[in-house]
């Protein structure tokens, strides 16, 4: 493509936007609203998943061993557990450590009356999961392992976190699909109006020998530019609002800082910015290309 043709295409695409300025502004506003909702939803979901992940990292399965088991066998069991794909790490707690922890937490100065360790068979492994949804498989394996007498786990919490993760994933896909479809529809209508307004001019251009690309490209550029502008505006607004909202929550509800950990703005927007731009330009491209092929048959 020649440079002159390229610049003509860009110029004509911009002219089309201003020629149909009200429809273009309506499309930009609606696409911006859609992508604003998408960005807002994305920020909420990412923070929610971060909170769930932190909760998952704190979940563990605890195993206790048969009475009289040798230390060598305990180490063998630990080595086998560490090789499991469900496991992120394991922490060994000896019987003496368990008793010292129990005394400090529950007995205090009253522990002096004990001359022996009443928890001598309470050595354990605390097993942290790489994925909480894999807990049932790990528990089944542990219960069948020779030398393990008891497996403690929280089935309700594991199933709850797994269900929440699945629900969030389904809702995310559904909302993104709806917003994508609405935005393409709006861009398609804007480009259709532009084609209708310039129908006679397009017929003349084709009559004197203009190529299909020369005629169609400005409309595609128009759609892509609408999508780009419609993406950048809401992302800029969200960037400012996100920092302000998180700062307000942390100051107004300081107790939440001990319970929740919000992601920094850079982590959110490192992905959200390019994703929104690609979505905006992509929606503009798909909407305009589809419309041009459907309505521009001259």
Domain ranges in the chain are 3-55+160-294, 60-153
CATH fold of the domain at 60-153: Alpha-Beta Plaits (3.30.70)
Q: Decide if 295 contacts 190 (C-beta within 8 A).
A: no
pLDDT mean across residues, the chain? 76
DSSP state of 257: G
When pLDDT is averaged across residues 166-195 and rounded to a whole number, the result is 71
Q: Note the pTM of the prediction, 2 decimals.
A: 0.58
Residue 79 has a pLDDT of: 92
Within 111-154, residue ranges assigned H as helices are: 135-143
Q: What is the pLDDT of residues 89-141, one digit of tens each?
A: 889 988 888 878 877 776 766 666 666 777 777 888 988 888 777 888 888 89
In percent, the amount of the chain with pLDDT more than 70 equals 66
Overall average pLDDT of the 202-228 stretch? 72
**DSSP-derived secondary structure for 94-118:** -HHHHHHHHIIIIIGGGGGG--S-T
The CA-atom distances, in angstroms, between 236 and each of 17, 80, 96, 239, 241 are 22, 51, 57, 5, 9
∠ CA 162-80-126, nearest 5°, is 55
pLDDT at 76: 92
Asked if the model's pLDDT at residue 232 lies above 70, the reply is: yes
Is 43 exposed, middle or buried (CB count within 10 Å of its CB: 0-12, 13-18, 19+)? buried
Is 71's pLDDT higher than 80? yes
DSSP per-residue letters across 24-93: HHHHHHHHHHHHHHHHHHHHHHHHHHHHHHHHHHH-EEEEEE-TT--HHHHHHHHHHHHTSTTEEEEEEE
Rg of the chain's alpha carbons, rounded to an integer? 31
Rounded CA gap, 209 and 257, in Å?
Answer: 68
By mean pLDDT, which of 53-62, 79-88, 122-131, 206-215 is the weakest?
206-215
Which of 31-45, 173-187, 199-213 shows the highest mean pLDDT?
A: 31-45
- Residue 67 above 80 pLDDT? yes
């Amino acid at each position: 493509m020649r440079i002159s043709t390229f610049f003509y295409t860009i110029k004509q695409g911009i002219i089309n936007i201003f020629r149909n300025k009200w429809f273009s502004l309506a499309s930009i506003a609606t696409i911006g609203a859609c992508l604003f909702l998408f960005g807002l939803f994305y920020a909420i979901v990412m923070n929610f998943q971060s909170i769930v992940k932190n909760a998952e990292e704190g979940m563990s399965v605890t195993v206790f061993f048969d009475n009289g088991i040798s230390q060598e066998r305990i180490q063998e069991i630990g080595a086998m557990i560490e090789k499991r794909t469900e496991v992120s790490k394991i922490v060994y707690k000896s019987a003496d450590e368990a008793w010292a922890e129990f005394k400090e937490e529950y007995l205090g100065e009253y522990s002096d009356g004990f001359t022996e360790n009443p928890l001598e068979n309470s050595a354990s492994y605390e097993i942290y999961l790489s994925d909480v949804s894999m807990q049932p498989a790990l528990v089944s394996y542990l219960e069948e392992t020779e030398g393990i007498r008891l497996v403690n786990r929280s089935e309700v919490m594991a199933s709850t976190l797994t269900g929440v993760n699945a629900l969030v994933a389904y809702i995310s896909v559904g909302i993104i699909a709806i917003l994508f479809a609405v935005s393409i529809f709006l861009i398609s209508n804007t480009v259709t109006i532009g084609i209708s307004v310039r129908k006679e001019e397009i017929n003349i251009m084709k009559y004197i020998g203009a190529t299909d690309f020369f005629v169609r490209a400005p409309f595609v550029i128009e759609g892509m530019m609408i999508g780009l502008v419609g993406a950048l505006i809401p992302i800029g607004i969200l960037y400012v609002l996100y920092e302000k909202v998180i700062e307000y929550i942390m100051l107004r509800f300081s107790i939440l800082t001990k319970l929740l950990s919000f992601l920094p703005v850079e982590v959110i927007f490192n992905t959200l910015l390019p994703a929104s731009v690609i979505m905006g330009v992509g929606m503009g491209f798909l909407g305009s290309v589809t419309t041009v092929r459907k309505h521009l048959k001259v």
